[in-house]
Structure formats: C-alpha cells, structure tokens
C-alpha cells in the first residue's frame, strides 16, 4: 500500500486536466470552427442551440464550456457576448470549474429518459440567477431515448431568449434529424500530426521534461488525432520513463515492436527470405512485441510505402520515424504496385487469422511464410512474356510437348533477386489490351433480314422480344414486310402477334408474320452463337501459348467470352440468311 500524500500537498492533476483550454486562443486544431463562431459573435448572429460532433478527445465538452463562458461574458464594462476572452469575466471562473448555477451540465449517457428532459423543460421557464444566459450543456446527446428527444423538440425550437443549448456527441448519425435541424452544427476535426506534435512539445517544455522526437512521433500516431488521448499517453510515458520520454520506454509502454526491425522484416519478406523473416519475428516476439502487433505494423508499413509511391510528399509527415522517412521512399521506388497490393491483402487477412488462432506466434509465422512465397509469384504479363519467349529449359508438357520453364525456388533463402523490385517507379505494368473495334450501331428504317430484325429489337430495348427471336424461333423466309418463321417446341404462340405489332410500331408499316407448318429443325440464333463459341474455344485450346499455360498450371480451364459483334454474319449463313427479294 502506497504511503499517503504529504499533508498540504496539492493533488496531482493529469496533463489533460491541467492544460485544458479555457479560451478559444488555447484550443488547438479547430480553426475553421473558431472562425465561424468569431464571425457569428461579431455580427450578433448567435444561435440558441449548438451541436458539437467529433471523435473522443477533440474538445467537444471543452468547446461547450468555452461557449458558455463566451455568451455569459461580463466584466466591469457590462454584459456582452465576447469570443476574445483575454481577461477573466465575473462568471468565468465558476463556469470553467463547472460550478456556475446558470450553466447546467448533463450526461445523457446516465440521464436518458423523458423524466430527465422534463426537469430541463420545467427549469427553462425560470430565467438565469446571475449570468446573462442560462446554458444547458448535454454531453453524449445521442444516448437520449426517443421519448426524451420528442419531449425536447418544442422547447428546442422556441426557447426563451435567455436560454442556450449546447449538445455534444460522438455519434452524430444517431441524433434525430428533427434535433439537428434546430441546431448550428460544428464538426470538430482530428488534430493534424504536426499540430499535435507541436502541442506536446509545448507541454513538455512547460513541465521541464526531456524527450526524444521519435518517442513523440509514436505517441502522436497512437493518439489518432485525439488531444486527450495524446495527453494521456504522454502522461503515461512520463511516468513509465521516470520523468523522461524516450523511444524505448514508449515502445515498451505501447507494446510496439522496433520500427527499424519491422522494416527489416518487410524487406526480408519482399525478397522471399523466409529464414531471416522468421528470425526477426522471433526477436521481436522475445522483445515483448505481440504477434498481432507485428503483422499490424507490417500492414501499416505496406500502406505507408504505397502512399509514398502514389504521393511522394507523404514523406514529410512529422509523425513518421526517421527509419520510415529514410527507407520508405526508397522501397516505394523499387516495389511494384502489384506486390504492395498483394502484401496488403495477405497481411490484412492474416491479422484476422491471428486473432482467432490458439497460438498467435505460430499463426503469424504462417502468415509470413505465405507472404514470402507470394513475393516469388510473377505477374501475369511476366508469365505470358516468359511463355512467349519459348522454352528456357527442358521440360515436358502435356502430351510430351516441351513447355517454357518459369523459375521457381524451392530454397527458403534465395537471395535478393527474389525481391519483387522495379528498376524505376512502375504504375502500369500490365500489357494494355488491344481494343476490339466495334461497329457503330445502325438505325434501321426497316429490317432487311432476320439478323437486322434481332438488332432492331435490341436497339428498341425490347429484350423479351429479342430473346424470343434468338431462342424460340428460326427464320424460314424473310421478304419485304413478310416474315415466315418456325417455332421451336414449347415456344409461346403469342410471340407472333407481338412481333407483328412491334414491327408496325417501329417501321410505320404493316408486316405479315406467319408460322411455318414445318417444325423448326435447324438451329436458332442462340444455337449458332454457342456453336461459334465452342469452335473458338477449341481453337484457343490448340494455341501453343495457351497449351503452355495449361501445362504449367494443371487443372486450369479455358473459357472464351465473345461479344455479339465479334461473331461475323458468315457464321449464320450456313444455318439461315435469306436476303430480302425485291418486288
């Protein structure tokens, strides 16, 4: 049991409370909101209700108290709302300390019901005791019940002139629109890393505590833009480091692995050097790093390198460690986008596997093995290029044919040539497909043959008729305004009447559509397309390059997809294609 504090000693205040802003001049990272409020106060357009939203620790409750102080500012010169709070007014100290009778704070998380709101509604009838305005601050307002929100609506819409409402929430989407529409909304943003870093340096200077820049960068990154979280982590780091903030103590406190070793591990994985990678993982684990944290750090660094590749200016981020700033851009220049994207997917899924695994270290090792061997895989265009270059070593493919050899290493450490590196930044590595020329659609005044009739139905967006023309009937004869077709077994007889009506509508002429007495023994258009696709697939399988790919990847199959315009008219001629006979 620790000894009691010496009598008369002031209780310790954590940094988050000791340096809590009491004016907008000391509030950091919310310049847009402050400027808007400054304009509103200068012109006297101060709303009766404010809605403050943002993540935890960005200053919602602090802003609410500063607003309460600003609207109730009063000094020897009189009462006047004022956002420039250089001097302390009559009511300021009590408001800052949360004990002013006219500034009522309520936590909606523990006062959620209609009865709690009814107390506010009843007290609104009475004016302020001493301050110019009675201010109600409701924190986590989204926790109020539906009945409580409904009970607040009328009062919020038409409050007495001496009442101000200030709401704060981290879940703005849970607040009813009817409440939001009655408030002036302000979104408090995450504080940028450079602003947060400067703020922490200022606190440490005031406290007279030494620090290492790398340690502050780790705290800023872990704080994720929340001022309170950063101050709490800094307080913890000061205690953990016995009065000094160092990188080693922050790493131990946050359970972080050595960032330099994490980058070494990343490079080893990209080289396919699994032996070195597993050794580094064991060293990080023995030093206290959690396996899930190690894989998470690898994913973070993968994302960072990808950002460097796309946006080189990202290297100027002050929250980066010296190792990240020095080595990240170099890796971004060498690694291809495919390798980075593949690494991210494996690490992201691997992190989920580690969470559910009984042994986190073993699961992490298997994730690293998977990533190291994935780094050996060539890109699709490299595979095709090697196959097109012909056989480089002996090997029998299907049927004894010689197939090109794709290098594959069976060793666990094959040297730096395994690193999927580009000689220069490469953003588009895949060969661009040659566009297939597509004939421009024609507008037919009147179809001249059965194929043009099918095209006309497609252009007119009558897909049911188009499908019926392709699958339910076969043309027997096609003449000017006279069509004879044979229906397949099971076809809808009503399609004939519909076809005649559509032709009259589209061409403005009467068409005769008759059904042949003979059964439809020949193929339909759909049958012709399937036959042409089957022939194309058979031809593709016989292609030497495709044969080589199938031999290299046993079990692979070939699927041919043909666009309608890729099937020439000649494919239908043997089955049917009777041109219009001129009268």
Phi, psi of 514 (to 5 degrees): -120, 160
pLDDT at 104: 92
CATH number for the segment(s) 15-187: 3.40.50.300
pLDDT at 84: 80
193-254: CATH class: mainly alpha
pLDDT at 221: 84
pLDDT tens digits, residue range 523-565? 787 888 788 778 877 877 788 888 788 787 777 777 776 665 5
Q: Does domain 259-385 have CATH number 1.20.272.10?
A: yes
Region of residue 300 (phi > 0: left; psi between -120 and 50: alpha; otherwise: beta): alpha
Region of residue 534 (phi > 0: left; psi between -120 and 50: alpha; otherwise: beta): alpha
Q: Which residue has the tokens 């497609």?
A: 458
CATH number for the segment(s) 440-583: 3.30.300
Rounded CA gap, 149 and 117, in Å? Answer: 8
For residue 124, what are the CA distances in angstroms to 131, 133, 164, 254, 293? 14, 11, 10, 47, 52
**Strand, helix or coil at 50?**
strand
DSSP of 377-446: PPPHHHHHHHHHT--SS--B-GGG-B-PPPP---SS---GGGS-B-SS--S--SPPPPPPP-PPPP--SS
The answer to whether the CB of 235 falls within 8 A of the CB of 243 is no
| 208, two tokens | 């007279």
Q: Which residue has the tokens 């601050």?
A: 137
Beta strand 78-79 with 74-75 is antiparallel
The answer to whether the CB of 348 falls within 8 A of the CB of 285 is no
Rounded CA gap, 261 and 11, in Å? Answer: 42
Listed by start position, the domains of the chain span: 15-187, 193-254, 259-385, 440-583
Task: Decide: pTM greater than 0.95.
Answer: no
For residue 187, what are the CA distances in angstroms to 4, 26, 31, 54? 43, 18, 11, 6
pLDDT at 566: 53
- Helices and strands in the chain, H and E counts: 24, 12
Q: Which of 537, 528, 531, 539 is nearest to 577 (CA)?
A: 528
pLDDT at 558: 75
pLDDT at 573: 55
Q: What is the pLDDT along the chain (583 residues), one digit of tens a residue?
A: 444 555 555 678 888 888 888 888 889 889 899 999 989 888 888 999 999 999 989 999 999 999 999 999 888 777 778 888 777 888 888 888 888 999 999 999 888 889 989 999 999 999 999 889 999 999 999 999 999 999 999 899 899 999 999 999 999 999 999 999 999 999 999 998 889 999 999 999 998 999 988 888 889 888 888 999 999 999 999 988 888 888 888 887 876 657 788 889 999 998 888 999 999 999 888 877 889 989 998 999 999 999 999 988 888 777 777 778 888 888 988 888 888 998 999 999 999 999 888 898 999 999 999 998 886 666 666 667 766 665 544 444 444 444 434 344 334 443 333 444 443 333 343 444 444 444 444 444 678 888 888 888 888 888 888 888 888 888 888 888 888 888 887 787 788 888 888 888 888 888 888 887 766 567 787 888 788 778 877 877 788 888 788 787 777 777 776 665 555 555 555 445 444 344 3
Count CA atoms closer than 13 A to 411's CA, side-chain side.
10
pLDDT at 443: 43
Q: 263 CB contacts (<8 Å, ≥6 apart)?
A: 301, 323, 324, 327, 328
The answer to whether the CB of 175 falls within 8 A of the CB of 141 is yes
């Amino acid at each position: 049991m620790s000894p009691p504090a010496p009598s008369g000693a002031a209780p310790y205040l954590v940094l988050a409370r000791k340096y809590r802003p009491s004016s907008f001049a000391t509030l950091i990272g919310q310049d847009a909101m402050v400027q808007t409020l400054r304009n509103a106060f200068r012109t006297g357009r101060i709303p009766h209700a404010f809605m403050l939203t943002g993540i935890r620790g960005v200053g919602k409750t602090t802003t609410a108290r500063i607003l309460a102080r600003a609207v109730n500012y009063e000094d020897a010169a009189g009462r006047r709302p004022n956002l420039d709070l250089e001097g302390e007014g009559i009511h300021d100290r009590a408001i800052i300390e949360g004990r002013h009778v006219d500034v009522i704070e309520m936590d909606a998380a523990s006062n959620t019901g209609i009865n709690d709101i009814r107390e506010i509604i009843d007290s609104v009838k009475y004016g302020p005791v001493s301050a110019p305005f009675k201010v109600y601050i409701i924190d986590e307002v989204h926790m109020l019940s539906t009945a409580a929100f409904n009970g607040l609506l009328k009062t919020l819409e038409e409050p007495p002139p001496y009442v101000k409402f200030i709401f704060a929430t981290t879940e703005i989407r849970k607040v009813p629109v009817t409440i939001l529409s009655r408030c002036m909304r302000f979104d408090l943003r995450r504080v940028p890393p450079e602003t947060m870093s400067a703020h922490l340096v200022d606190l440490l200077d005031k406290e007279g505590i030494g620090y290492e820049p790398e340690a502050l960068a780790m705290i800023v990154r872990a704080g994720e833009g929340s001022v309170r979280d950063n101050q709490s982590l800094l307080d913890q780091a000061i205690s953990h480091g016995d009065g000094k903030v160092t990188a080693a103590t922050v790493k131990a406190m946050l359970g972080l692995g050595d960032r330099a070793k994490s980058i070494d591990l990343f490079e080893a994985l990209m080289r396919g050097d699994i032996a070195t990678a597993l050794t580094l993982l064991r060293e990080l684990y023995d030093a206290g790093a959690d396996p899930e944290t190690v894989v998470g750090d690898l994913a973070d660094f993968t994302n960072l390198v990808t950002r460097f590749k796309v946006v080189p200016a990202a290297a100027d981020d002050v929250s980066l460690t010296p190792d990240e700033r020095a080595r990240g851009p170099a890796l971004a220049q060498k690694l291809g986008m495919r390798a980075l994207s593949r690494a991210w997917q494996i690490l992201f899924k691997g992190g989920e596997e580690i969470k559910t695994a009984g042994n986190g270290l073993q699961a992490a090792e298997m994730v690293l093995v998977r990533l190291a061997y994935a780094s050996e895989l060539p890109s699709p265009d490299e595979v095709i290029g090697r196959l097109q270059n012909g056989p480089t070593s002996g090997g029998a493919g299907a049927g004894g044919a010689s197939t090109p050899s794709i290098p594959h290493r069976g060793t666990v450490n094959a040297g730096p040539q395994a690193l999927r590196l580009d000689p220069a930044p490469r953003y588009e590595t895949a060969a661009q497909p040659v566009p297939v020329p597509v004939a421009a659609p024609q507008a037919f005044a009147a179809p001249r043959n059965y194929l043009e009739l099918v095209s006309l139905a497609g252009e007119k967006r009558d897909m049911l008729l188009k499908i019926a023309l392709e699958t339910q009937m076969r043309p027997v004869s096609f003449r000017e305004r006279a069509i004879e077709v044979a229906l397949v077994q099971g076809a809808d007889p009503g399609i004939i009447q519909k076809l005649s009506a559509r032709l009259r509508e589209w061409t403005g002429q009467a068409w005769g559509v008759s059904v042949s007495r003979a059964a439809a023994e020949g193929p339909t258009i759909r049958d012709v397309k399937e036959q042409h696709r089957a022939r194309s697939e058979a031809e593709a399988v016989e292609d030497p390059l495709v044969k080589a790919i199938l031999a290299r990847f046993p079990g692979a199959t070939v699927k041919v997809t043909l666009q309608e315009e890729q099937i020439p008219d000649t494919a239908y001629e043997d089955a049917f294609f009777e041109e219009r006979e001129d009268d």
